[in-house]
Amino acid sequence: MGNKAKVVFVRPPNLQKSGQWKKQGVIRCPLNIALLASFIRTKGSFDCSIIDFEVTPASSVDQMAEIILQSHPKYVCFTTLTPRFPVVVKTAQEIKRRQPDIFTIIGGPHVTGTPLTSMMDGISYGIVGEGEEALLELLEKIENKQDPSGVKNIVYKDGLSVKVNPVRPFINNLDALPFPAWDLMDIKEYDDPTYFSGSHLAIYSGRGCPYDCIFCASAVTWKRKLRLRSVENVIHEISDIANRLKVRNLMFWDDTFAIDEQRAFSICDRIIEGQFDISYTVQLRADSVTERLADILKKSGCCFAAIGVESGNEEMLVRIGKKETKEQFRKAARIMKEVGLPIIASYIIGLPGDTQETIKETIDFAFELNADQSKFMILAPYPGTHVYDLACQIGLVDIWSFEQMEASNYYDSVGINLSKVSDNDLLRYQDEAYERFDKSKKAGI
Residue 213 lies near ligand SF4 (rule: CB under 6 A) = yes
The binder of ligand B12 chosen from 64, 81, 119, 332 (CB under 6 A): 81
Is the CB of residue 302 less than 8 Å from the CB of residue 281? yes
Q: In terms of CB distance, is 204 or 211 closer to ligand SF4?
A: 211
Plot region of 47 (φ>0 → left; ψ -120 to 50 → alpha; else → beta) = beta
Nearest-approach distance from CB 209 to ligand SF4, in angstroms: 3
Minimum Å gap between C-beta 225 and ligand SF4 is 12
What residues numbered 257-316 form the site for ligand B12, per CB under 6 A?
Answer: none
Q: Which of residues 131-190 bind ligand B12 (CB under 6 A)?
A: 131-132, 135
410 binds ligand B12 (CB under 6 A): yes
CA distances from 266 to 202, 204, 293 (A): 19, 15, 11
CB of 299: closest distance to ligand SF4 in angstroms? 25
Site for ligand SF4 contains 252 (CB under 6 A): no
- Sign (positive or negative) of CA dihedral 305, 310, 312, 313: negative
Q: Is 211 in the site for ligand SF4 (CB under 6 A)?
A: yes
Q: Which of 133, 255, 361, 406 binds ligand SF4 (CB under 6 A)?
A: 255
What does 267 interact with, of ligand SF4, ligand B12, none (CB < 5 to 8 A by kind)?
Answer: none
Partner in contact with 54, chosen from ligand SF4, ligand B12, none, beta carbon below 5 to 8 Å by kind:
ligand B12
| CB 424, min distance to ligand SF4, A | 27
Helix (H, G, I), strand (E, B) or coil at 155: strand
Number of residues binding to ligand SF4, judged by CB under 6 A? 10
As measured in angstroms, the least distance from the Cβ of 223 to ligand SF4 is: 11
Near ligand B12 in 26-45, by CB under 6 A: 28, 30-32, 35-36
The candidate with the shortest Cα–Cα distance to 47, out of 2, 85, 14, 15, is: 2
The DSSP secondary structure of 267-295, one letter per residue, reads HHHHHHHHT---EEEEEE-GGG--HHHHH
382 binds, among ligand SF4, ligand B12, none (CB under 5 to 8 A by kind): ligand B12
Per-residue burial over 331-366, b = 16 or more CB atoms within 10 Å of its CB, e = otherwise: ebbebbbebebbbbbbbbbbbbebeeebbebbbebb
CB of 321 to ligand B12, least distance (A): 13
Q: Which residues contact 169 (CB under 8 A, 6 or more apart)?
A: none
Identify the three-state secondary structure at position 365.
helix
What is the CA angle 270-275-281, rounded to 5? 70
What Cα–Cα distance (Å) separates residue 350 from each residue in 282, 315, 326? 25, 15, 18
Please list every residue from 194 through 233 that binds ligand B12, using CB under 6 A: 204, 216-218, 221
Partner interacting with residue 259 (select from ligand SF4, ligand B12, none; CB below 5-8 Å by kind)? none
Closest by Cα among 342, 283, 284, 353 to 317: 353
Determine contact, residues 352/393, Cβ cutoff 8 Å: no
DSSP secondary structure letter of residue 80: -
**Stretch in the footprint of ligand SF4 (CB under 6 A) among 54-62, 82-90, 97-105, 208-216:** 208-216
Rounded to 5 degrees, φ, ψ at 316 are -65, -40
Helix (H, G, I), strand (E, B) or coil at 378: strand
Q: Is 216 in the site for ligand SF4 (CB under 6 A)?
A: yes
Site map 42..61 versus ligand B12, x via CB under 6 A: ------------x-------
**Residue 397 Cβ vs ligand B12, minimum distance, rounded to whole Å:** 13
SS3 248: coil
| Among ligand B12, ligand SF4, none, residue 132 binds (CB under 5-8 Å by kind) | ligand B12
Contact between 48 and 4 (Cβ < 8 Å): no
Q: What is the dihedral of CA 55, 50, 239, 297, to 10 degrees?
A: 50
- Which residues, in sequence order, are CB contacts of 25 under 8 Å at separation 6+? 191, 193
The answer to whether 254 contacts ligand SF4 (rule: CB under 6 A) is no
- 34, 37, 68, 77: which one contacts ligand B12 (CB under 6 A)? 77
Q: Give yes or no for residue 209 binding ligand SF4 (CB under 6 A).
A: yes
Residues binding ligand SF4 (CB under 6 A): 209, 211-213, 216, 218, 255-256, 285, 308
Residues binding ligand B12 (CB under 6 A): 11, 14, 28, 30-32, 35-36, 54, 77-79, 81-84, 105-110, 113, 127, 130-132, 135, 204, 216-218, 221, 253, 255, 382-383, 409-411
